[in-house]
Amino acid sequence: MTKKMSATTSSLPAGAPIPAFSDSAVSVLDRRYLMKDKEGTVLEKPEDMLWRVASTIATADASYDKKADIDGLAMDFYTMMAQFDFMPNSPTLMNAGRELGQLSACFVLPIEDSMESIFEAVKQTALIHKSGGGTGFSFSRVRPHHDIVHSTKGVSSGPISFMSVFDVATETIKQGGTRRGANMAMLRVDHPDIMDFIKVKADLKKLNNFNISVAVTNNFMDAVENDEDYDIINPRDNSVVARKSARKVFKQIVKQAWFSGEPGIVFIDRMNEGNPTPALGAIEATNPCGEQPLLPHESCNLGSINLANMVVDGTINYDKLADIVEKGVHFLDNVVDLNRYPLPEIAKITKGNRKVGLGVMGFADMLILLGIPYSSKEAIDVADKVMKFVDDTAYQASVKLAQIRGAFPNFAKSIYYDKDPNTPVRNATRTTIAPTGTISILANCSSGVEPLFAVSYVRRVMDNAEFYEVNQLFEKYAKENGFYSTSLMKTIAEHGTVQGIAEVPVKYRQIFETAHDISPKNHIDIQAAFQRHTNNAVSKTINFPHSATEDEVHEAYMRSYKQGCKGVTIYRDGCRDNQVLSTGKTENQSVDPAKGKASEHQRIKRDRPRKLTGSTYQMETGCGPMYVTINEDDEGLQFELFNMVGKAGGCAASQCEAIGRLVSLAWRSGMAPEPILKQLIGISCHKPHGLGKNKVVSCADAIAKAIQQHMEGNGHAACKDGNAGHQMFGACPECGGVVEHEGGCCICHSCGYSECG
């Protein structure tokens, strides 16, 4: 029975533990989670928020047992959150015990091959995004572009055209001031428009509010291995309309992912092999980060266990882990009952299957506490053993709940009934490995099953002061062993890693590996180990250095498939926002002053000829459309830049004019474009535009991206040296900190900002 939730007035009981949130966590809570009045004044303390959530979620037990100890259960739920052993997904923390009452992060909506279905999905998307959720879609049922439409005697505009409608709708909702929801678009690899879909995000102006993934079949992967053709199928009538070279299509996927990090790959047949209710339909799509395969109109509620807290005196305390797993399943099952779903169709299928997704975070911290390097075989063994224990225990907890509350309503249509009709299960799925960017900040642990994103990094505060944020375990070990110093933390922050730093003992260099110290093979092996014991899927980023080749990406995709992963997300360091598209040859070379150019030691401004040629680029910014004109001299070198945005005389227009004049002065004085790009790209303001790798975070950033496009369009090759350290997708729009690609999402560890909502 769904209960209406309103803001709770219950106060925290005396003697309840007070959570020791870090300064970063308190900042995140103030920005995103704590109740506020209409003036923005915070109305609750962090511990009050946790009690609001715990006391609300515990009330569901009264529906099954009138004598249930609701207060005792609420304290159990509160304690495991206050001690950072478990955290539910963000919508539950934000909305439990409040008027909205929407507690789910993950939704999938159906799209059929009709205008009615498509625009109904647009409306439903708006309602879900308004409630704080993210949406996934498969556009595979939509007939290809230029296909016949019998009812109108016209032709179809195809799935990509309709994706743009969803993109614009999402942008409109975002501009309306509500919490933005993210989107995932998927298309089957055998759809006639697949090549256009693979390449769609090569255009930086398209689908800014979408992640995209190709739904790859087993037949296709077999054809890739055997260098065979495969069938292309028109979804309008399921007819075979062509055959394509599997390797050619796969090569295009690899090429585009190498270039921009998208599209991702979802092994759709493998996901359906794990579909617990195939009689209800096939899985066609996932949530925005890819870890939650769902049926049409289905949603899922997620929560994560902090594995670092399961290490006691250098060993894993499996008794404690079992206790938290059982309580976590109980908590999430209650969420299914109490959730206020945005649509009745969602309530029906979600309550029919009662899927929950209990996952883990703090895995990298667990390995450090155990003294095990992330890239070692021992780490794979720990991942395998721990996740098997979590999955087995979650299943037993679900069976135990079913004995009291009954099996999920669709149990008789499930694989569980086929295997053992006499053992009811409460939840069709129990385990998911989700990205935990924000809740891991609250729990002060590493994110999901990712390695550390950094050991030390610079954090900037509002007065532009800088200090070094240091991993708490590294700081502890460094101080205990006498090698801690501020200068060392600065050195580590500048290098982005402890590898090769002699002041750090070898032992600690081995266990404090970061994402870019670890090979793609090691990343994949860890993902595969967790996937073996996860009902749903695993959200993880496979990191590559900037110098990685397309062949290496190809190899990683094949390894992921053979290792049993359900999907793959790769990111090559600096592949989009900081990609310098130039040979770099003019940076340091001396030039002939007679030709109006200068050496590095003396720059001479060239006179402007009466006629120049160039191109104009339209860039979308938070201040509106910007038009950037780049002119070249007769030798093809950049000479000047003009831009126009907003009304003349306005602040944005004047600032952008100033940037244009300075860029023009630099070019006329012989400066190469690379240092200009490095200075402008990633500068952020309060009005970013777009999503993910295609995001424009300021007008300055837009100018830099226009320069990139111009150079790429003129055939300049990518710079091979890259930039030192880790690259980011631009600065965080909320605090200006580093935005990292983690768990298939972009997050800021400084303030908790997440592009996935």
Q: Which CATH number is 116's domain given?
A: 3.20.70.20
Is 289 among the residues known to form the active site?
yes
- C-beta neighbour count of 533 within 10 angstroms: 19
List own/partner pairs for 648-654 with CB under 8 A and 24 or more apart. Answer: 652/623, 652/699
Whether residues 602 and 709 share a domain: the answer is yes
Residue 163 resides in a domain? yes
Helix axes 520-531, 550-562, angle to 10 degrees: 20
| Under-50 pLDDT residues of the chain | 1-9, 175-179, 462-463, 578-602, 717-729
The number of domains in the chain is 3
pLDDT of amino acid 400: 98
Give me the residues paired with residue 738 across strands: 731
Whether residues 607 and 491 share a domain: the answer is no
Is 171 among the residues known to form the active site?
no
Whether residues 270 and 143 share a domain: the answer is yes
Residue 169 resides in a domain? yes
pLDDT of amino acid 587: 34
- What DSSP letter does each residue of 287-345 carry, written as one string? -TTSS-EE-TT-EEEEEEEEGGGGEETTEE-HHHHHHHHHHHHHHHHHHHHH---SSHH
- C-beta neighbour count of 340 within 10 angstroms: 18
Task: Measure the CA dihedral 423/429/433/438, to 10°.
Answer: -120
Catalytic one of 44, 284, 291, 298: 291
Q: Which residue has the tokens 């509002």?
A: 462
Structural domain boundaries enclosing 458: 454-513
pLDDT of amino acid 629: 93
Q: What angle do CA 115, 116, 120 make, to 5 degrees?
A: 115
Residue 558 resides in a domain? no
- What's the DSSP call for residue 470? E
- C-beta neighbour count of 502 within 10 angstroms: 7
Catalytic one of 289, 300, 685, 719: 289
Where among 513, 542, 558 does a domain terminate? 513
Taking the C-alpha atoms of residue 329 and residue 426, their distance in angstroms, rounded to an integer, is: 10
Q: How far is CA 326 from the centre of its chain?
A: 28
SS (HEC) of 228-245: CEEEEEECCCCEEEEEEE
Residue 390 token pair: 């979590």
List own/partner pairs for 518-523 with CB under 8 A and 24 or more apart. Answer: 518/374, 518/375, 518/451, 518/543, 519/375, 520/544, 520/548, 520/552, 520/555, 520/556, 520/570, 521/556, 521/559, 522/374, 522/375, 523/451
Give me the residues paired with residue 741 across strands: 746
Whether residues 165 and 261 share a domain: the answer is yes
Whether residues 135 and 271 share a domain: the answer is yes
Query: Please, which residues have CB within 8 angstroms of residue 602's CB and are 6 or more apart in sequence?
Result: 593
The answer to whether the beta carbons of residues 286 and 342 sit under 8 Å apart is: no
pLDDT of amino acid 465: 56
Whether residues 279 and 170 share a domain: the answer is yes
Is 469 among the residues known to form the active site?
no
Whether residues 607 and 468 share a domain: the answer is no
Catalytic one of 89, 209, 275, 287: 287
pLDDT tens figures, 305-324: 999 999 999 999 999 999 99
Whether residues 507 and 602 share a domain: the answer is no
pTM of the full structure: 0.80
pLDDT of amino acid 422: 96
Q: Which residue has the tokens 């922050």?
A: 493
Residue 704 resides in a domain? yes
pLDDT of amino acid 576: 64
Whether residues 474 and 601 share a domain: the answer is no
Residue 61 resides in a domain? no
pLDDT of amino acid 718: 38
Whether residues 181 and 281 share a domain: the answer is yes
Where among 482, 497, 513 does a domain terminate? 513
pLDDT tens figures, 462-512: 445 566 789 999 999 999 999 999 999 989 988 889 999 999 999 999 999
Whether residues 480 and 603 share a domain: the answer is no
The widest CA-to-CA distance across the chain, in whole angstroms, is 94
Where among 286, 306, 332 does a domain terminate? 286
Taking the C-alpha atoms of residue 206 and residue 223, their distance in angstroms, rounded to an integer, is: 31
pLDDT of amino acid 367: 98
Taking the C-alpha atoms of residue 754 and residue 735, their distance in angstroms, rounded to an integer, is: 12
Phi and psi angles of residue 569, each rounded to the nearest 5 degrees, phi first: -125, 120
Residue 19 resides in a domain? no
pLDDT of amino acid 221: 98
The answer to whether the beta carbons of residues 155 and 192 sit under 8 Å apart is: no
Q: Which residue has the tokens 């799925």?
A: 429
Q: Which residue has the tokens 């996932």?
A: 286
Per DSSP, helices labelled H in 83-114 are 90-95
Whether residues 637 and 507 share a domain: the answer is no
CA nearest to 723, candidates 543, 577, 602, 566: 577
Residue 497 resides in a domain? yes
SS3 548: coil
Residue 464 resides in a domain? yes
